[in-house]
């Protein structure tokens, strides 16, 4: 007998399928400060008892349990789904669970009401049961509630009261409220799972990123000088590829040439030389003081500096001699450079995660991130995290979060979906996506729907980069400026976080060879002369302003795709509170495309309403149903704010 050692029979309430729950509670869901956690569960019991339920939650570091009510959602297909919410206001890990109990007075009252309404004659037996329940409730409270219960009891005990008087006293809703404010929860049922929600800064969800190689901008002082302009353009995060010393041994030349010529700059991802490794600065970029000044100026302008965390070493990295035991060796004792046969990466050595001193290696890597975090870096873009152990990331991110709860880790993993999801579950606050390769309306709709509503929205926060130093898509190579504009609007309006790698605004689109996504004369291997004067910067700046002014564009889970009756036109609405933005973007900006935007009833808009195009400032009368649209190479999108 399951509970043979206890006086009471086993719990009669079932609490199943709590949400959000990721892998049976193994991982935490994610929110940002100020968000709400919408909680739900199947809650039911045998028989006809009336149930009550709450979500109970602990803020980070707090022992105190707070709670918020759950209510049955009658519209749910099963009829036994309950839902509620609590707000998260502090950075860190919240713990929560669900508790439910039987409210016998509510059940008794409901039965009495039905009998009274059916005109049943003698209900004295029923009332005698109510007296017992009320007497128990009175013992649990004091003050006004106790007085109200006592008053009801005195009517029920009054020999002179009529049956109608007694029924009215027993069915008084204020009486029920008084009783329910003091429930007997001694036999309540608590959900088996203790669930967790990690609360991050808003930056983890929403931001416009700009990526630049400092060596093309006059080093760290030059970058610092551009900060005010970047802030003016509306960027929130300035992401710098590795700023550390670059190895000389086996240095790659322009266009990834096997041998560098004298004076070739090398790839910043071949980290380390005799002057230092992951905690050193490339001497050409500036001093640690220059770095601190950049972080400080950026902070004054509301911009976060994002550093690149790439766990790999050049042949000249100090660790190769100080800690050869951390690297892969052949049986003859020689070190092994990185390979993905038949490709060879002779300028890079990967660490050996299975080495005996793995603890020393993990600690050293933690020290690297801690070093920069202690200097004020709040954002880390992690290079290829999917080729490192997941357990390492889970440990490292938890360690850093304990010291700096406002840090954001962006996972640069372009690999199979299960691993990309896994890294987000393990703690990465934001993730690169497949966006660059989603071109057609079907692909975009399907992919964004998965990100926004398949369950991924609970833990996976996308960052839609339009390009990267590694990714110049064929679409951009052949589509030219209108395609650049179209992809830019898609990224900035589909995803709360999006990014641009310097050069995009100049329409840079020459590949190293046909069929390659690598840039010709990639900045990865060469120093360029850069400035913020690209012709697309006006649109970028306008989009950044629009994103800041419209809360609806700062979320992903509020998206609803709309019909257009044209495969070359994609439309979607986002709504947050009173703010509704309908985006219409052409996927074929080389040609004029006409279609409609179908505004469904479910969007909750009036039959006729005014929309203002936030790009052109024009206004239109729109209506529920079909609305004509036309886009062409000179106008690739409407961003329509509903008045």
Contacts of 516 (CB under 8 A, 6+ apart): none
**Rounded-to-integer distance, Cα 286 and Cα 404, Å:** 26
| 163 is a contact residue toward its own copies (CB under 8 A) | no
How many residues touch its own copies under the rule CB under 8 A: the total is: 70
Whether the link from the prior residue into 433 is cis, omega within 30° of 0, is: no
What is the Cα–Cα distance from 214 to 227, expressed in whole angstroms? Answer: 12
Which stretch in 91-99, 284-292, 329-337, 568-576 sits in contact with its own copies by CB under 8 A? 329-337
Figure out which of the listed residues 143, 263, 331, 514 binds its own copies, where binding follows CB under 8 A.
Answer: 331
Identity of the residue, 119 or 577, whose beta carbon is nearer to its own copies in the bound complex? 119
User: Interface residues for its own copies in 50-79 (CB under 8 A)?
Assistant: 77-79
Which positions from 183 to 222 touch its own copies by CB under 8 A, shown as an x/- string?
---------xx-----------------------------
Lookup: tokens for 306: 């994002």
What phi and psi, each to the nearest 5 degrees, are found at residue 229? -70, -40
Q: Choose, from 103, 211, 304, 412, the residue flagged as catalytic.
A: 412
**Catalytic position from the list 211, 273, 383, 526:** 383
| Binder of its own copies out of 172, 299, 358, 527 (CB under 8 A) | 358
115 binds its own copies (CB under 8 A): yes
Q: Is 216 helix (H, G, I), strand (E, B) or coil?
A: helix
Cα(first)–Cα(last) distance of the chain, in Å? 64
Report the distance separating Cα 241 and Cα 236, nearest Å.
Answer: 16
416 forms part of the interface with its own copies (CB under 8 A): yes
Among 224, 244, 388, 547, binds its own copies (CB under 8 A): 388
Q: Output 111 or 520, the one with its CB closest to its own copies.
A: 111
322 tagged catalytic: no
Determine if 25 is a binding residue for its own copies (CB under 8 A): yes
Which range in 197-205, 280-288, 339-347, 482-490 contacts its own copies by CB under 8 A? 339-347
Q: Which of 85, 218, 353, 447 binds its own copies (CB under 8 A)?
A: 353
> Considering only residues 42, 67, 325, 474, which one is a binding residue for its own copies as defined by CB under 8 A?
42
Kindly report the backbone phi and psi dihedral angles of residue 45, in degrees, each rounded to the nearest multiple of 5, phi listed first. Answer: -140, 165
Supply 148's token pair: 């109200």
Distance CA 276, CA 198 (A): 35
Q: Interface with its own copies includes 454 (CB under 8 A)? A: no
The Cα–Cα gap between 266 and 259 comes to 10
Determine the interface stretch with its own copies among 206-214, 237-245, 326-334, 479-487 (rule: CB under 8 A).
326-334
Cβ neighbours of residue 198 under 8 Å, at least 6 residues apart?
28, 29, 30, 31, 92, 93, 94, 401, 427
If one asks whether residue 517 binds its own copies (CB under 8 A), the answer comes out as no
Q: Which of residues 34, 36, 90, 114 is near its own copies by CB under 8 A?
A: 114
Select the span of 201-209, 380-388, 598-606, 617-625 touching its own copies (CB under 8 A).
Answer: 380-388
For residue 402, state whether it binds its own copies (rule: CB under 8 A): no
Determine the Cα–Cα distance for residues 240 and 184; give it in Å rounded to an integer: 58
Length of the chain: 643
The closest of 485, 494, 387 to 438, measured between CA atoms, is 494
342 binds its own copies (CB under 8 A): yes
383 is catalytic: yes
Binding mask 77-96 for its own copies (x = CB under 8 A): xxxxx---------------
Angle value at C-alpha 315, between 309 and 318, nearest 5 degrees: 70
Verify binding: residue 512, its own copies, rule CB under 8 A: no
Taking CB under 8 A as the criterion, the residue among 56, 182, 185, 386 binding its own copies is: 386
Least distance from its own copies to the Cβ atom of residue 317, Å: 20
> Which one of residues 354, 533, 578, 621 is an interface residue with its own copies (CB under 8 A)?
354
Rounded distance, CA 365 to CA 349, Å?
15
User: Which residue in 485, 472, 448 sits closest to 586, CA to CA?
Assistant: 485
Furthest-apart CA atoms within the chain: distance in Å: 109
242 within 8 A of 271, measured Cβ to Cβ: yes
For 23, the 3-state DSSP assignment is: helix
Residue 515: half-sphere exposure toward Cβ, Cα within 13 Å: 0
Which of 20, 44, 213, 235 is close enough to bind its own copies by CB under 8 A? 44
DSSP assignments along 563-597, one per residue: --S-TTEEEEEEEETTEEEEEEEES-TTS-EEEEE
Residues annotated as part of the active site: 383, 412
Interacting residues toward its own copies by CB under 8 A: 1-4, 7-12, 14, 16-17, 23-26, 42, 44, 46-48, 77-81, 111, 114-115, 117-118, 120, 125, 128-129, 131-132, 192-193, 330-332, 334, 336, 339-342, 353-354, 356, 358-359, 362-363, 386-392, 394-395, 416-419, 422
């Amino acid at each position: 007998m399951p509970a043979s050692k206890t006086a009471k029979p086993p719990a009669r309430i079932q609490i199943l399928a709590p949400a959000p729950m990721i892998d049976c509670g193994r991982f935490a869901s994610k929110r940002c400060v100020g968000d709400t956690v919408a909680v739900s569960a199947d809650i039911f019991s045998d028989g006809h008892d009336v149930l009550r339920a709450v979500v109970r939650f602990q803020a980070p570091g707090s022992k105190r349990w707070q709670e918020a009510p759950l209510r049955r959602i009658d519209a749910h297909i099963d009829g036994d789904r309950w839902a509620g919410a609590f707000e998260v206001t502090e950075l860190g890990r919240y713990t929560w669970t669900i508790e439910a109990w039987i409210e016998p007075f509510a059940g008794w009252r409901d039965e009495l009401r039905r009998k009274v309404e059916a005109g049943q004659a003698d209900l004295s037996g029923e009332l005698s049961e109510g007296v017992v329940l009320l007497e128990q409730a009175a013992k649990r409270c004091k003050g006004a509630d106790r007085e109200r219960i006592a008053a009801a009891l005195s009517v029920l005990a009054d020999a002179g009261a009529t049956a109608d008087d007694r029924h009215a006293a027993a069915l008084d809703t204020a009486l029920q409220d008084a009783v329910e404010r003091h429930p007997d929860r001694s036999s309540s049922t608590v959900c088996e799972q203790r669930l967790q929600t990690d609360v991050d800064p808003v930056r983890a969800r929403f931001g416009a990123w700009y990526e630049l190689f400092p060596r093309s901008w006059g080093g760290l002082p030059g970058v610092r000088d551009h900060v005010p302009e970047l802030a003016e353009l509306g960027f929130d995060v300035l992401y710098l590829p590795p700023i550390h010393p670059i190895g000389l041994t086996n240095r790659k030349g322009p266009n990834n040439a096997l041998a560098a010529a004298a004076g070739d700059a090398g790839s910043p991802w071949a980290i380390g030389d005799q002057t230092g490794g992951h905690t050193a600065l490339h001497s050409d970029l500036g001093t640690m003081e220059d770095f601190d000044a950049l972080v400080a100026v950026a902070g004054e302008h509301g911009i976060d500096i994002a550093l690149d965390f790439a766990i790999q070493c050049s042949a000249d990295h100090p660790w190769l001699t100080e800690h050869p035991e951390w690297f892969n060796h052949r049986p003859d004792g020689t070190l092994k450079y990185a390979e993905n046969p038949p490709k060879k990466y002779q300028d890079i050595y990967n660490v050996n995660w299975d080495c005996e001193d793995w603890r020393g290696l993990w600690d050293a890597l933690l020290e690297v991130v801690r070093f920069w975090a202690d200097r004020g870096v709040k954002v880390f873009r992690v290079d290829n995290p999917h080729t490192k152990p997941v357990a390492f990331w889970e440990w490292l991110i938890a360690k850093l979060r304990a010291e700096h709860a406002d840090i954001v880790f962006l996972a640069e993993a372009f690999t199979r979906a299960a691993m990309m999801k896994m890294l987000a579950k393990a703690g990465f606050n934001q993730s690169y996506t497949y966006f660059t390769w989603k071109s057609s309306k079907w692909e975009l709709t399907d992919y964004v729907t998965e990100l926004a509503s398949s369950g991924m929205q609970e833990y996976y926060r996308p960052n839609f980069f339009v390009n990267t130093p590694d990714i110049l898509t064929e679409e951009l190579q052949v589509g030219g400026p209108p395609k650049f504009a179209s992809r830019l609007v898609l990224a900035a309006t589909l995803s709360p976080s999006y990014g641009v790698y310097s050069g995009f605004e100049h329409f840079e689109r020459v590949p190293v060879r046909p069929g390659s996504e690598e840039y010709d004369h990639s900045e990865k291997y060469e120093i360029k002369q850069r400035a913020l004067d690209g012709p697309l910067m006006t649109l970028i700046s306008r989009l950044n302003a629009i994103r800041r002014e419209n809360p609806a564009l700062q979320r992903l889970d509020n998206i609803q795709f709309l019909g257009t009756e044209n495969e070359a036109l994609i439309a979607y609405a986002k709504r947050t509170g009173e703010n509704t933005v309908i985006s219409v973007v052409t996927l074929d900006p080389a040609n004029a495309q006409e279609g409609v935007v179908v505004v469904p009833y479910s969007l909750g808009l009036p039959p006729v309403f005014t929309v203002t195009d936030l790009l052109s400032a024009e206004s239109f009368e729109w209506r529920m149903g079909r609305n004509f649209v036309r886009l062409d190479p000179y106008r690739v999108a409407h961003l329509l704010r509903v008045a």
